[in-house]
Chains A and B, each alone.
Chain A
Amino acid sequence: MEDLSLHILDVVENSIRARASRIEVTLEEKKTDNFLCLLIIDDGSGMDEETIKLVTSPFYSSKEGKYFGFGVSLLKQAALETEGEFEIDSNKGVGTKIKAVFKKDHPDMKPIGDIMLTIQVLRLSHPDIDFFYNFKSDSE
């Protein structure tokens, strides 16, 4: 993936497949602490503890007959490559929260990309789902 907006699109597509009706994407920039935090929260079908352990492996997919799933693992890799952090919290039947923290000035930090286009494509192709996007920065 070239930028974070494409990672977001990819991971949100997982939320859509998990039948979420509300998906919230938040980017929080802390210039003073040199990090960018991405949060994706959905109210989809969620995962049990066993699945949470597997989901960051590229050799796991929840889809029947499919043995690879790169979306979450690539986002995790993108965060860890910047010496950042990655966490998943999920409850079956409640939803999933994915948190990826990036070190902003790291040479491997990807550009944020066209978030507007990602949100536009998601809203237009899935008008029955409520998408929310928040951007917070300590510089504003």
Chain B
Amino acid sequence: MNLKPEDLKKISEKMEASTNLRSGAGRAKITVHMGTCGIATGARDIMKAFLDELEASGQKDILFTTTGCAGLCSHEPMATIEIQGESPVKYVHLTKEKVKTIFKEHVMNGKIVEESALGRGSERVG
């Protein structure tokens, strides 16, 4: 429970290794929905699963961030994948297994995983 100095060091090393997270531009952006509804249904583990996939891939041009509730609480946990120059795609009812597939197919190869996707576009208007 108690964070030790070595734990904080590990976090810092992980951040340094992921220089992509600090840069302003990336080839792809992964946004995990971290509203109360998302967190209650496992969004933190989904974020961790994406981070594990990123680490394993060694990619440096993928941005990570979080956002709030998209107003589709019954579809949580959700994430939005945006490949540069393409419309964002919302993925719903995520599991660690789905994250692996989405990362491999969509983030790495640009192919939308239709069976897990709700649709293209953003929940925000304007």
- A-side residues, CB < 8 A to B, are 1, 6, 9-10, 13, 16-17, 63, 66, 69-71, 74, 112, 115-121, 123-128, 133, 135, 137
Contacts and interface: CB of A to CB of B under 8 A. Distances in A.
A112 B1 contact: yes
A6 B18 contact: no
Chain A interface main SS type: helix
Contacts of A135: 1-3
B3 A127 contact: no
A6 B44 contact: yes
Contacts of B51: 120-121, 124
Given A1-B40, A13-B34, A13-B68, A127 B2 contact: no
Contacts of A10: 34, 36, 39
A112 B71 CA distance: 28
Contacts of A120: 11, 14, 48, 51
Contacts of A127: 15, 21-22
Given A71-B36, A125-B64, A117 B44 contact: yes
Given A71-B36, A124-B15, 13 more contacts: A1-B39, A6-B40, A9-B39, A10-B36, A10-B39, A13-B39, A66-B71, A123-B11, A123-B15, A124-B51, A125-B32, A125-B66, A135-B2
